[in-house]
Amino acid sequence: MEKNKIFMYSVIGVLFAAVIAVSVALYFTFNSLKTLADSNQQNIVINDEITVNPKDVTIFSINEPITANLITDKENDEKHLLRISVGLALDSSQKDYKSLNEDLTEKMEIIRHTIISVIRNKTYKEMQDPNIQELMGKEILNELKNKFQTNTIVDIYFGEFFVQ
């Protein structure tokens, strides 16, 4: 009988120690994951250059998709086009954010013209590049930043990207 009590207390003690060990391990694991997640959400890096707090990013959408011809392929004289829908990521923490946002709304045709100019200088073969969206996004971004003389436009997002 005495051996049974000792054995039972030993089993209860081992189980109690195991529960405490697992609880402590889970606490530290979840705490580490939470810290990692919080640090990842503090800032996002855009185009390997600019760090922006995600709370400060707003999207200025160009309502209608843009369709433009690509450079005609000289080998087989085929005509191709690109249809894209575009959103501009704006950093709302910048000083000129409000004025630029109003300016962009009023000058939608300038934005569309700038994007069409970039598209029309591309070939169908260039559109086959797996990184073309990133490359075109950077090119459009640079053109718009120069045209509007601002750093408030921080990225370009494509909703639709259709090559025919």
Gyration radius from the chain CA atoms: 28
Residue 38 confidence class, pLDDT cut points 50, 70, 90: low
Per-chain mean pLDDT for the chain: 82
pLDDT digits (tens, 9 = 90+) for 72-109: 877 777 888 889 999 999 988 888 888 888 888 898 99
Tokens of 67: 């369709």
With respect to CATH, is domain 50-163 assigned 3.30.479.30?
Answer: yes
pLDDT at 16: 83
Going by C-beta distance under 8 Å and a sequence separation of 6 or more, which residues neighbour residue 145?
151, 153
